[in-house]
Amino acid sequence: MEDSQLLHNLFRTEYRKLVSVLCYLFGIKHVEIAEDIVSDTFLAATETWSLKGVPENPTAWLYTVAKNKTKNYLKRDVFFEQKLSPELKYGAEMSEEIVVDLSSKNIADSQLAMIFAVCNPYISTESQVALALNLLCGFGIQEIADAFLTNKEVVYKRINRAKEKLKVENIKIEQPTALEINDRLEPVLTTLYLLFSEGYYSSSQNTILRKDLCAEAMRLVHLLMENKTTNKPSVNALFSLMSFHSSRFDARTNEKGEIVLYDDQDETKWNQELIIQGTYFLNQESTGDTITRYHLEAGIAYWHTQKEDTDEKWDNILQLYNSLLILEYSPIAALNRTFALAKVHGKELAIQEAEKLKLEDSHFYFSLLGHLYTDFDNHKAQTHFKSALKLAKLEADKATIERNIKKLVL
């Protein structure tokens, strides 16, 4: 592996760990100092390794340099040290050596504490996701801008507003109590769900970036699963859901980047290991008394990994959608339900239900109607596909819709 690629990979995996540990040590008010120290560490690696070569243990080298830079900063900036002393973890007196604990346990504890600090209801959901990508996942500003199809200035503003809000509200970076877990786990899971969705349903054509977003969301959910205080049924159900969705990632687009509809997907491209993993965790968490949206969505995703087109499959999917809409209504879930409804009760009833939704600002709505009307009333199907084409913004979506129009026999 080339030195530049190695350093890039290390930045992706180690930057977030080092920032979390130093934020855990310093407190949220000094997050910029933590980021500066870690950035300086990687800059030192770039300069030193280009001259002397990559050390035998690159990760250990980074950790050692980060520790030394932190200690040097504290010694050099007496004012900062005095100001920081009430917030420092571990209860060390300022005359003692400050401990920068980069053990596996403290890294995990720090990242868990950071998840609950970043995923805070005081911050807008957009800012939570942007800050999570930046601090918890090590994504750069340009990468986040690409993921959201926006510009760097917008991302800067979201992240800075989020940081400022955390400081103003004096949010602590600490291990969540049982009460805080009960109160705050849902917004945490919502943020991680949105982070995953940004990758899986992303409009970005950067396939590597999309997969990275999904992988980071799964890593953070798995971190919650590894801690006994946060290893709740809803967490496992979300991980199951992500596993099922990720299993079909490679089959969802063709070589041109166009969306491949479910019925046309090549099941040989589905990742069976992820399907087995999703099934395991879904079964693990289906025995309790609590049913969350993640349980129901994971159930729907499970049946979509069963390619055989049986009545049992679509009956189950339809019932799960019915339960999901009762538990937590969403127009998109209602729209998706109509596809299952068509499979079970025919297109005529599905069309009636879909048209009631009147989601006329969504190209997905008109695309679905186009599919439902295909071979039922091809003139109406064409009309709906043309409406979808007007609303679609991405070239890949437009190409998919145009392909569907060409298939129609009028």
Q: What span, in angstroms and rounded, lies between the C-alpha atoms of 225 and 240?
A: 11
pTM of the full predicted structure?
Answer: 0.86
Which residues, in sequence order, are CB contacts of 363 under 8 Å at separation 6+?
Answer: 387, 388, 389, 390, 391, 392, 397, 401
- What pLDDT is recorded for position 254? 82
- What pLDDT is recorded for position 73? 85
Q: How many CB atoms lie within 10 A of CB 91?
A: 6
CA angle 251, 304, 269 (to 5 degrees): 25
For residue 244, what are its two tokens? 């099922």
Contact 242, 217 (CB under 8 A): yes
Under DSSP, the state recorded for 177 is P
Q: State in Å, rounded, how far the first CA of the chain is from the last one.
A: 56
Q: What span, in angstroms and rounded, lies between the C-alpha atoms of 285 and 178?
A: 20
- What pLDDT is recorded for position 91? 43
Q: How many residues does the chain have?
A: 410
- What pLDDT is recorded for position 90? 44
Residue 24 corresponds to which amino acid? Y
For residue 203, what are its two tokens? 């409009």
Q: Burial, 40: exposed, middle or buried (Cβ in 10 Å; 0-12, 13-18, 19+)?
A: middle
Q: For residue 295, which of 267, 320, 261 has the smallest C-alpha distance?
A: 320
Question: What is the CATH architecture of 330-410?
Answer: Alpha Horseshoe (1.25)
Q: How many CB atoms lie within 10 A of CB 274?
A: 19
Task: Give the position of tokens 């087995």.
Answer: 276
Under DSSP, the state recorded for 392 is -
Q: What span, in angstroms and rounded, lies between the C-alpha atoms of 390 and 392?
A: 6
What angle in degrees, to the nearest 10, is found between the helix axes of 347-357 and 331-345? 170
Contact 368, 347 (CB under 8 A): no
Q: How many CB atoms lie within 10 A of CB 105?
A: 8
Helices (H), 201-254: 207-226, 233-247
Secondary structure class of 252 (helix, strand, coil) = coil
Q: What span, in angstroms and rounded, lies between the C-alpha atoms of 138 and 8?
A: 11
Q: How many CB atoms lie within 10 A of CB 203?
A: 13
Q: What span, in angstroms and rounded, lies between the C-alpha atoms of 16 and 107?
A: 10
pLDDT tens digits for the chain (410 residues)? 566 788 888 988 899 999 999 999 988 888 999 999 999 999 999 999 999 999 999 999 999 999 999 988 887 765 555 555 555 554 444 445 667 899 999 999 999 999 999 988 889 888 998 999 899 888 888 888 887 778 999 999 999 999 999 999 989 899 988 888 888 899 899 989 988 988 887 666 566 557 888 999 999 999 999 999 999 999 999 999 999 999 999 898 888 777 788 888 999 999 999 999 999 999 887 766 788 999 999 999 999 999 888 999 999 999 999 999 999 999 999 999 999 999 999 999 999 999 999 999 999 999 999 999 999 999 999 999 999 999 998 777 888 899 999 989 76
Domain boundaries, the chain: 1-101, 103-230, 232-304, 330-410
- What pLDDT is recorded for position 396? 77
For residue 281, what are its two tokens? 């965790």
Cα radius of gyration rounded to whole Å, the chain: 24
Give, for 167, the enclosing helix (H) or strand (E). Answer: helix 152-168
Give the C-alpha distances (Å, rounded to integers) separating 109 from 17, 33, 176, 230, 285.
10, 20, 10, 12, 24
Give the C-alpha distances (Å, rounded to integers) separating 395 from 55, 205, 391.
45, 10, 11
Secondary structure class of 246 (helix, strand, coil) = helix
Give the C-alpha distances (Å, rounded to integers) separating 257 from 70, 205, 251, 254, 397.
45, 7, 11, 5, 9
